[in-house]
């Protein structure tokens, strides 16, 4: 009796294996018969991706760097730094006050709007028909701008991304000029006036 059951189980296993092999061969046969279509679709997608990458506009990154002064910064910077937590002060390092002041100036409405007007970014970013062209251009400029503090070498980096490499470089340099101009104007201001400015 047990021999009959074993024989039936053995046949069942063989049938399953045979069915599985048939399915595999059927699938391979189908793929082989449609190899032309598969190769064609693969080639088409490859060409499409190459064409798409060629049609995308190129973007260029320009960088201007400012070495930080050895001094601890002005009274304005010290007042602003005092409002930060100890962790933030530690992150910014010994020149943290200067960094706070410079970053606040660079991200201020005055400087960003000056960049927008200097380089006619409303036209560049195609916001002539917008209800708020300056605000929209400033927002796009903010997306294209990266301010980076290197604590190891103690410098502030201004990076600008743009479709035009020369414009990107000019914008980064212009922001440094504006930073210097505004910083000199604010040296005589009180900490309270500086907070109102930024």
Bridge-partner residues for 60, per DSSP? 162
pLDDT of residue 131: 94
User: In total, how many domains does the chain have?
Assistant: 2
Q: Are residues 109 and 165 in the same domain?
A: yes
The pLDDT tens digits for 106-143 are: 999 999 999 999 999 999 999 999 999 999 999 999 99
Residues 51 and 64 in one domain: no
Distance CA 161, CA 103 (A): 18
Residue 174 sits at φ, ψ, to 5 deg, of -65, -40
Rounded-to-integer distance, Cα 49 and Cα 45, Å: 6
Closest CA to 105 of 175, 191, 188, 198: 198
Q: Contact at 8 Å (CB) between 138 and 130?
A: no
156 and 81 within one domain: yes
- Which residue, 22, 38, 55, sits at the end of a domain? 55
Q: What is the mean pLDDT of residues 88-111?
A: 70
Whether 65 and 51 share a structural domain: no
Say if residue 89 is in the same domain as residue 159. yes
Domain endpoint, select from 55, 71, 88: 55
Do 50 and 92 reside in the same domain of the chain? no
Q: Given this model, what pLDDT does residue 175 score? A: 95
Closest by CA position to 78, among listed 190, 197, 196, 198:
190
The verdict on 45 and 67 lying in the same domain is no
Q: For residue 162, list its beta bridge partners.
A: 60
Same domain, 86 and 164: yes
49 is in which domain, residue-wise?
2-55
Q: Is 59 helix (H, G, I), strand (E, B) or coil?
A: coil
What pLDDT shows up at residue 41?
A: 76
pLDDT band at 197 (very low <50, low <70, confident <90, very high): low
Burial (CB count <10 Å: 0-12, 13-18, 19+), residue 99 = buried
């Amino acid at each position: 009796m047990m021999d009959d059951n074993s024989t039936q189980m053995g046949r069942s296993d063989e049938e399953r294996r045979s069915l599985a092999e048939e399915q595999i061969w059927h699938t391979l046969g189908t793929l082989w018969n449609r190899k032309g279509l598969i190769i064609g679709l693969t080639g088409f997608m490859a060409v499409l991706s190459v064409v798409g990458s060629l049609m995308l506009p190129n973007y260029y990154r320009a960088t201007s760097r400012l070495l930080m002064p050895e001094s601890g910064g002005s009274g304005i910077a010290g007042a602003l730094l005092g409002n930060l937590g100890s962790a933030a002060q530690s992150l910014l390092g010994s020149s943290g006050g200067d960094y706070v002041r410079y970053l606040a100036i660079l991200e201020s409405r005055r400087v960003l709007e000056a960049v927008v007007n200097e380089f006619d970014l409303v036209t560049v970013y195609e916001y002539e028909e917008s209800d708020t062209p300056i605000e929209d251009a400033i927002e796009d400029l903010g997306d294209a701008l990266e301010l980076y503090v290197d604590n190891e070498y103690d410098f502030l980096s201004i990076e600008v991304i743009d479709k035009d490499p020369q414009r990107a470089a000019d914008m980064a340099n212009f922001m440094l000029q504006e930073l210097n101009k505004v910083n000199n104007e604010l040296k005589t201001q009180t900490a309270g006036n500086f907070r109102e400015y930024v």
